[in-house]
Amino acid sequence: MKTLITGGTVVGPLGATPTDVLVDGETIAALYAPGAAAAAGVTADNVIDATGKYVVPGGVDVHTHMQLPFGGTFASDTFETGTIAAAWGGTTTIIDFAVQRTGEVVQDGLAAWHAKADGRCAIDYGFHMIIGGVDDEALKAMDHLVEHEGITSFKLFMAYPGVFYSDDGQILRAMQKATDNGALIMMHAENGIAIDVLAAQALARGETDPVYHGITRPSALEGEATHRAAVLAQVAGNTPLYFVHMSASEALAVVSAARAAGRNVFAETCPQYLYLTLEDQLGAPGFEGAKWVASPPLRPRDESHRDDLWRGLRTDDLAVVSTDHCPFCFKDQKELGRGDFTKIPNGIGTVEHRMDLVYQGVVTGRLSLQRWVETCSTTPARMFGLYPKKGIIAPGSDADIVIYDPTATTTIGVATHHMNMDHSAWEGFEIAGRVDTVLSRGSVVISDNAFHGRPGHGQYLRRGLSQYLR
């Protein structure tokens, strides 16, 4: 089936241009100057009028956690509910994290995640691999996954001792392996050993409320871990290194310096760190702040973190905006931590709102239109080996297309969102702009304020190496 999108303005990394888009089957067939398709006699089964709207490549969210086991429970979105919510928000590709824990076989962890996702995703998906136990067998498995499974990125943790934590020696060995096979090391950079000491001391003082989750994870410990990881990557041979969910000015300064020195160092941030604060959300009265417990934590509003992160997006020291979508309901999940903030499941649900929230940077003049598309679509596709299949509106690319109405407005809230959560971390946020229509590989999955897709439409993506390596 052919679909012709007319009257819209295509936005890509080079700017915004009035362009008509012809979709044939699952891919983009051609781009035309306005009206040129009709003049050439091009016909289509379906014509979508995008007059006055932006036509952008579908969002690529490279950091989600569907059904992740954490703190005695599971993230509340399944691959079905989470990918449907993502589609509502203009995201047409996710990369989730399969998990290997200490003592487990890496390939068994991957198989478990395939079983969760297969036949259930409404949009296309891939996997990173969490290596929770770096040993000889896990290092061999990294080669196997790169060569045979299309998994070219591996996440390590400097936080969560006893769960996912890797020491410096283990990190160095994994980085050396990635230097050899070209994979990207993704790093959760917080000094988990020191954080555990601070958290235990707080509890001993009777400081149990959610706000102490943030107070015991100071930004200096994110900056320290970021520096240490960057040094280890340099020692390992300029290993490709990607810092996830960056929240702190100190950490961003490390990345900026490494990039200025020509190193293979990259970073992402998430909407929560661009907008929310320790005092206003995490420090909400009583136990309410548990809704915003995530790691790294929200940062103090009177410090420069938020402004610095926006600046990092403009300067490309921050390459990507992802969500770290890891939702938990307040009732029966977040409530597990009443009386002990260390037992609150860590995570915030945002997969449905990323495109809207970053677009607000365009509205306020913090970002250009093309930078919005770069950080949400094009750069993540390039960073994780999916470009030009994903992340661009160009002939031959998958027809993952979002028609975005900049004149519409919407209000975020639990009453209208589609994530499987009993609250919204973004309740009451007023958004200028709205996702109007979404195509996933040529199929309309969102239009007329309704979901038209289906679980199982999404395909597993085998990824190549990052296209940003030096």
Q: Are 130 and 262 in a shared domain?
A: yes
What CA–CA distance (Å, rounded) separates 381 from 358? 17
pLDDT above 70 as % of the chain: 100
Give the pLDDT of residue 470. Answer: 62
458 falls within a domain? no
Give the pLDDT of residue 194. Answer: 98
Average pLDDT, stretch 138-157?
A: 98
195 falls within a domain? yes
Instruction: Convert 295-318 to b/e letters by CB count within 10 Å (16 or more is b).
Output: bbbbbbeeeebbebbbbbbeeebb
Q: Are 19 and 118 in a shared domain?
A: no
CATH classification at residue 36: 2.30.40.10
Q: Are 203 and 327 in a shared domain?
A: yes
Q: What single DSSP character describes residue 238? A: S
Which residue has tokens 């499941």?
345
pLDDT tens string 331-345 = 999 999 999 999 999
Q: Are 302 and 437 in a shared domain?
A: no
Inter-helix orientation angle 136-144/168-181, to 10°: 30
Q: Are 175 and 294 in a shared domain?
A: yes
388 falls within a domain? no
Q: What single DSSP character describes residue 298? A: P
Q: Are 397 and 330 in a shared domain?
A: no
Number of Cβ atoms within 10 Å of the Cβ of 103: 8
459 falls within a domain? no
Give the pLDDT of residue 236. Answer: 98
Give the pLDDT of residue 241. Answer: 98
Give the pLDDT of residue 14. Answer: 87
456 falls within a domain? no
pLDDT grade, residue 469 (50/70/90)?
confident
Which residue has tokens 């009386």?
339
442 falls within a domain? yes
Q: Are 301 and 436 in a shared domain?
A: no
CATH classification at residue 225: 3.20.20.140
pLDDT tens string 94-107 = 999 999 988 899 99
Q: Are 41 and 125 in a shared domain?
A: no
Domain span at residue 209? 58-383
E strands, 75-122, in order: 91-100
Q: Where are the alpha helices (DSSP H) in 283-378?
A: 305-315, 354-363, 369-373
Those residues whose C-beta lies under 8 Å from the C-beta of residue 398, and which sit 6 or more positions away, are 26, 27, 28, 124, 389, 390, 441, 442
Q: What single DSSP character describes residue 348? A: B
Q: Look over the chain and give the mean of its residue pLDDT values, rounded to a whole number.
A: 97
Distances in whole angstroms, Cα of residue 388 to Cα of each of 382, 394, 424, 441: 8, 8, 34, 13
Question: How many domains, the chain?
Answer: 2
Q: Are 118 and 50 in a shared domain?
A: no
Average pLDDT, stretch 408-415?
A: 97
65 falls within a domain? yes
Q: Are 42 and 66 in a shared domain?
A: no
Last residue of a domain, one of 327, 361, 383: 383
pLDDT tens string 341-397 = 999 999 999 999 999 999 999 999 999 999 999 999 999 999 999 999 999 999 999
Contact 272, 250 (CB under 8 A): no
pLDDT tens string 72-87 = 899 999 999 999 999 9
457 falls within a domain? no
pLDDT tens string 190-227 = 999 999 999 999 999 999 999 999 999 999 999 999 99
Last residue of a domain, one of 383, 411, 439: 383
pLDDT above 90 as % of the chain: 97
- Whose CA is closest to 94, among 57, 55, 122? 122
Those residues whose C-beta lies under 8 Å from the C-beta of residue 345, and which sit 6 or more positions away, are 70, 71, 72, 73, 293, 328, 333, 334, 336, 337
Last residue of a domain, one of 383, 401, 429: 383
H or E stretch covering 111: helix 106-117
Q: Are 325 and 443 in a shared domain?
A: no
pLDDT tens string 285-328 = 999 999 999 999 999 999 999 999 999 999 999 999 999 999 99
Q: Are 151 and 233 in a shared domain?
A: yes
